[in-house]
A = this chain, B = another copy of it.
Amino acid sequence: MDIYNEKDKFYVAVDCIIFGFDNQKLKLLVFDRRIDPFKDSLSLIGSFVKIGESVSDAAIRILKDFTGLENVYMKELKTYGSVDRDPGYRCISVAQYALIRIDNAIKKIVEEKGARWYEIDNIPNLILDHNQMSIDALKRIEEVARYKPIGFELLPKKFTIPKLQTLYEAIYRRKFDTRNFRKKILSFDVIIKLDEKDRTTSKKGAYLYKFDYKRYRELQESGYNFEI
């Protein structure tokens, strides 16, 4: 074992599966490739890891290069390592999924970069194994959302409970009962009611809340379970 053989060296790529929420639907960020290989096809964003860079740093760099975003919720999904996954050269990809807030700033940035949001049940053909990555990432989000409050990563800093509910309904593709949903969310005791209302979606207006990261971490340390 442990025989060093120069032939057995690989390109290592990072591909990012980026999800956003536009207050209605859960969406995937897809890029129109302007350069070869696969020019004019659709793909996720990705790039090779540089030899002097950690895989996670590469992921952060790639996300920033393509979207301008930093401090984004991003986690490793899994490694895609089949021999023939990329016909051009032998390359393994460490896929990462990211959750971002869609606001006007990001909207503009991504459009400039030739990107588009697609609804998750209407994803177009992507290059290589990028469709599989998207499917796997979506499944992972469903799993993770079950016991970690990742939903807040997709919402603006200030959000209303009805929006939060719409988000979870988008993730799980089913409706929740308003009263039960509120009860559950509030019972976690990790969101703080603000004195402002959001009147953009109703005349009455809905109270804005913010996520209490500090309290969340406290509860998490003590083994609390956020199962939705």
Contact = CB atoms under 8 A, between A and B. Distances in A.
Interface of A: 1-5, 7-12, 35-37, 47-56, 65, 76, 78-79, 81-83, 89-90, 92, 94
Q: Is the interface of A mostly helix, strand, loop or mixed?
A: loop
Contacts of A94: 79, 81, 92
A54 B82 CA distance: 4
A71 to B, nearest CB: 20
A12 B55 CA distance: 12
**Among A36, A47, A49, residue most surrounded by chain B Cβ atoms (within 10 Å):** A49
B9 A11 contact: yes
A146 B3 CA distance: 39
Contacts of A1: 35, 47, 65
Given A4-B48, A54-B83, 9 more contacts: A1-B35, A1-B47, A2-B36, A3-B48, A8-B49, A9-B9, A10-B12, A53-B83, A55-B81
